[in-house]
Amino acid sequence: DGGITQSPKYLFRKEGQNVTLSCEQNLNHDAMYWYRQDPGQGLRLIYYSQIVNDFQKGDIAEGYSVSREKKESFPLTVTSAQKNPTAFYLCASRNGGGRETQYFGPGTRLLVL
């Protein structure tokens, strides 16, 4: 089955802790994206990557970091600098940089203890 997987489904973070959210796709898509979803605010872009070993900041990158060492993987680290990390995080991928459809993973809900 082709698709996007995200893990874990729920993640708990303690104060001052960095946590990493996993995103893997087997669609052979070039571009991958991380979004944050909060009630009433819609989807906001955190980081995106158009190609391996390259990524760009989105609209709300502060307090987050990413890597793109492999085409199929785009992990997101929520650092201790992110003061309000509680949200639903969605990973997406897209084939190429044209007007292709973005496909989404099932999401990870991050909660602060």
Partner 1 sequence: SQELEQSPQSLIVQEGKNLTINCTSSKTLYGLYWYKQKYGEGLIFLMMLQKGGEEKSHEKITAKLDEKKQQSSLHITASQPSHAGIYLCGADMGAGNNRKLIWGLGTSLAVNP
Residues within the interface to partner 1 (CB under 8 A) = 4, 6, 40-43, 45, 88, 90, 92, 99, 101-107, 109
* 33/64 with CB nearer partner 1: 33
* 81/96 with CB nearer partner 1: 96
List the beta strands (DSSP E) in the chain.
Answer: 4-7, 10-13, 19-25, 31-38, 42-51, 54-57, 64-66, 76-78, 87-94, 102-104, 108-112
On whether the CB atoms of residues 86 and 108 are closer than 8 A, the answer is no
Could you give phi then psi for residue 112, rounded to 5 degrees?
-100, 130
Minimal distance, residue 31 CB to partner 1, in Å: 10
Minimal distance, residue 16 CB to partner 1, in Å: 27
* 18/59 with CB nearer partner 1: 59
